[in-house]
C-alpha cells in the first residue's frame, strides 16, 4: 500500500511553526499542551508510515515524531538485512537508530515505543516475542544475542556459541539509555566499539579469549533519555568516538492530554497490522535500493549540498550530526521500503531530509547554546561568517552573495533572526554618500 501525498519544496528553516504541522496544531478544546522545543516539518509524515502515525495520534499522548522514529526503526529491523543501498563504497542496511530525548514526566518516550510494540505484536508476534531484548550492558552481551555457533567445536566440549543464532534481527529499546552511556564509558568496555560495528551492519567481534563473533547481524536501537541526563553524560571524547552521531537525536514532548485514554481500539490496531504485515513481507524481497531520476536530481542539487556544507565545523553540534548526509539516504530507503516501494522516490527523500533537519534542530535545542549552533544550517552559516568577518563586519552585499539562491524576503528573515542571537547586531555605515547595512558580532559579557 502506498499513500500518495503532495509535497512542496522543503523550507530552509528547520524550526517550522506549529501552524505548519496539523499534528501539532492546538485543538479548540486546547487538548494539545504547549510545546517547548522545535516542531517537525509535515514532510516527515509521508507515505504509509506517516499515515500510521496520523491514525494512532488521537489514541496516545506520545509525540507523533516519537512514534514515527520508532516505526522507522522497528520496521527496518523487522525487514532484515536483505535491502541495502550503496553510499560510495559503504553498504548501508535498513537500520535507523534514534535517541528520543524528552523530560522524564512530559516526554512520553515509553508511550511511543509501547504504541509501536503493540502494533507490531499484532503484525509479527514472533519477532516481538524473540527479537526485542533490552539491557545493553557490554559489547560481549550484544554479540551473545546474535552469536555465531562454534565453527570448530572440540570433541567432548560444548560449543562456545552453542548452535548459534540463525535469525540475527534485533530491535533493542533501552528505556534508560543514560545507564548504557555510563557503561560504554567504563575503562575496557567494548560496548561503544561493538555498537559502531552494529550500526554499520558489520560482523561483530571483540578481541578476547572467547573470541565470540556474529556474522551479518541486523540490529536497530532506540534509546530513551532526558535532556539533562544527555547533557551531563555526553563529553567531547564520546562525541569524537563516533558512537552518538549514529543516533538521530529526536526531541519529544507530550502531544495530547488524554486523562481517560484507553489506547487504540483493537480493530484499528488489527487493520493497521494487516497492512504492515504485507508491507514488511514485500520489503524483505528487495535487494539493492536506488534513487529514481527525480530523487537523484533532488539529492545532487539540494539535499547533499545542504547537508554537507558545514564540513569544517568542529563543535559538539557538528559532531553529533556528522553523519547527516549518509543518514538522509539511509532513512529515505526505509521510508521507501515502508511505503511498498523498492526505489527511493522524491517524496521519500524529502521526508528523510525533513527528519534530518528536525534531528539537527533537536540537537541544538537539547544541547543548548554551548553546542555552537542554532539548528538551522543557514543561520549557523551566516553567524559563522559574521564572527570571522573583518572588523568592519559582513555587508549586506556579502550576505546576498552567500545566499544567492534565496530571495530578498528570505534573506531579510534570516538576518533578522541573526540579530536576535546574543552578540549579533546590524549597523548602518556611510558608504560614498549612502549607508550600507553591516552585520557585527561582539562576544556577550
Question: Residue 434 has what DSSP assignment?
Answer: E
Cα–Cα distance measured from residue 341 to residue 295, given in angstroms and rounded to the nearest whole number: 13
Q: How far is CA 283 from CA 14, 65, 146, 319, 343, in A?
A: 31, 23, 22, 33, 11
Residue 301 CB partners (closer than 8 Å, separation 6+): none
Question: What is the predicted pLDDT for the residue at 432?
Answer: 75
Instruction: Report CA dihedral (4, 6, 116, 102) to the nearest 10 degrees.
Output: 170
Neighbours of 413 (CB within 10 A): 14
Question: What is the predicted pLDDT for the residue at 19?
Answer: 39
Q: Is 21 helix (H, G, I), strand (E, B) or coil?
A: coil
List, run by run, the mean pLDDT of 10-residue segments along the chain (445 residues): 36 38 66 82 96 95 96 98 95 96 84 96 96 86 87 52 84 87 75 88 75 89 90 59 81 89 93 98 98 97 83 58 89 98 98 95 77 62 85 89 84 87 87 85 76
Question: What is the predicted pLDDT for the residue at 343?
Answer: 98
Cα–Cα distance measured from residue 84 to residue 216, given in angstroms and rounded to the nearest whole number: 13
Question: What is the predicted pLDDT for the residue at 311?
Answer: 44
Question: What is the predicted pLDDT for the residue at 242?
Answer: 66
Q: Which three cell numbers stand for residue 242?
A: 563516533
Q: Which three cell numbers stand for residue 381?
A: 552559516
Nearest CA to 49 out of 355, 359, 363, 360 is that of 355
Cα–Cα distance measured from residue 377 to residue 399, given in angstroms and rounded to the nearest whole number: 15
Q: Are strands 90-93 and 84-87 parallel, antiparallel or unpaired?
A: antiparallel
Neighbours of 207 (CB within 10 A): 6
- What domains does the chain contain, in order, with CATH numbers? 18-371 (3.40.50), 377-441 (1.10.10)
First to last CA, the chain: 57
Nearest CA to 327 out of 292, 373, 358, 294 is that of 358
Question: What is the predicted pLDDT for the residue at 24?
Answer: 85
* Residue in the structure block whose three cell numbers are 510494540: 117
pLDDT digits (tens, 9 = 90+) for 162-175: 678 999 999 999 98
Question: What is the predicted pLDDT for the residue at 344?
Answer: 98
Question: What is the predicted pLDDT for the residue at 17?
Answer: 37
Amino acid at each position: 500500500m502506498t499513500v500518495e501525498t503532495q509535497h512542496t519544496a522543503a523550507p530552509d528553516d528547520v524550526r517550522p511553526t506549529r501552524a505548519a504541522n496539523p499534528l501539532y496544531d492546538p485543538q479548540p478544546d486546547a487538548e494539545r499542551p504547549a510545546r517547548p522545543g522545535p516542531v517537525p516539518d509535515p514532510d516527515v509524515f509521508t507515505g504509509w508510515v506517516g499515515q500510521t502515525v496520523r491514525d494512532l495520534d488521537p489514541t496516545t499522548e506520545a509525540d507523533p515524531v516519537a512514534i514515527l522514529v520508532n516505526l522507522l526503526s522497528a520496521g527496518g529491523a523487522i525487514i532484515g538485512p536483505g535491502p541495502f543501498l550503496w553510499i560510495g563504497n559503504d553498504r548501508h542496511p535498513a537500520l535507523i537508530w534514534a535517541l528520543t530525548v524528552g523530560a522524564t514526566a512530559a516526554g512520553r518516550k515509553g508511550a511511543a515505543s509501547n504504541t509501536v510494540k503493540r502494533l507490531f505484536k499484532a503484525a509479527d508476534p514472533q519477532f516481538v516475542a524473540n527479537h526485542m531484548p533490552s539491557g545493553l550492558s557490554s559489547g560481549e552481551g550484544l554479540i551473545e544475542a546474535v552469536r555465531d555457533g562454534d565453527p570448530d567445536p572440540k570433541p567432548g566440549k560444548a560449543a562456545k556459541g552453542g548452535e548459534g543464532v540463525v535469525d540475527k534481527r534485533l530491535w533493542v529499546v533501552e528505556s534508560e539509555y543514560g545507564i548504557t552511556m555510563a557503561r560504554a564509558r567504563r575503562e575496557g568496555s567494548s560496548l561503544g566499539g561493538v555498537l559502531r560495528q552494529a550500526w554499520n551492519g558489520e560482523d561483530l567481534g571483540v578481541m578476547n579469549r572467547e573470541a565470540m563473533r556474529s556474522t551479518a547481524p541486523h540490529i536497530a536501537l532506540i534509546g530513551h533519555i532526558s535532556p539533562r541526563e544527555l547533557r551531563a553524560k555526553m563529553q567531547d571524547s564520546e562525541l569524537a568516538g563516533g558512537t552518538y552521531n549514529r543516533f538521530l537525536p529526536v526531541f519529544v514532548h507530550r502531544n495530547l492530554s488524554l486523562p481517560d485514554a484507553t489506547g487504540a481500539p483493537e480493530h484499528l490496531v488489527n487493520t493497521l497490522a494487516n497492512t504492515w504485515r504485507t508491507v514488511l513481507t514485500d520489503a524483505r524481497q528487495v535487494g539493492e535500493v536506488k534513487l529514481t531520476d527525480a530523487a537523484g536530481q533532488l539529492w545532487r542539487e539540494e539535499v547533499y549540498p545542504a547537508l554537507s556544507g558545514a564540513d569544517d565545523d568542529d563543535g559538539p553540534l557538528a559532531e553529533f550530526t556528522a553523519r547527516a548526509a549518509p543518514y538522509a539516504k539511509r532513512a529515505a530507503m526505509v521510508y521507501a521500503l515502508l511505503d511498498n516501494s523498492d526505489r527511493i522516490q522524491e517524496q521519500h527523500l524529502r521526508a528523510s531530509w525533513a527528519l534530518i533537519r528536525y534531528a539537527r534542530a533537536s540537537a541544538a535545542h537539547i544541547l543548548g547554546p554551548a553546542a555552537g549552533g542554532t539548528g538551522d544550517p543557514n543561520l549557523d552559516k551566516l553567524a559563522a561568517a559574521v564572527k570571522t568577518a573583518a572588523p568592519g563586519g559582513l555587508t549586506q552585499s556579502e550576505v546576498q552573495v552567500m545566499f544567492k539562491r534565496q530571495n530578498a524576503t528570505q534573506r531579510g528573515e534570516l538576518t533578522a533572526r541573526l540579530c536576535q542571537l546574543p552578540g549579533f547586531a546590524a549597523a548602518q555605515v556611510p558608504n560614498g554618500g549612502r549607508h550600507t547595512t553591516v552585520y557585527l558580532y561582539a562576544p556577550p559579557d
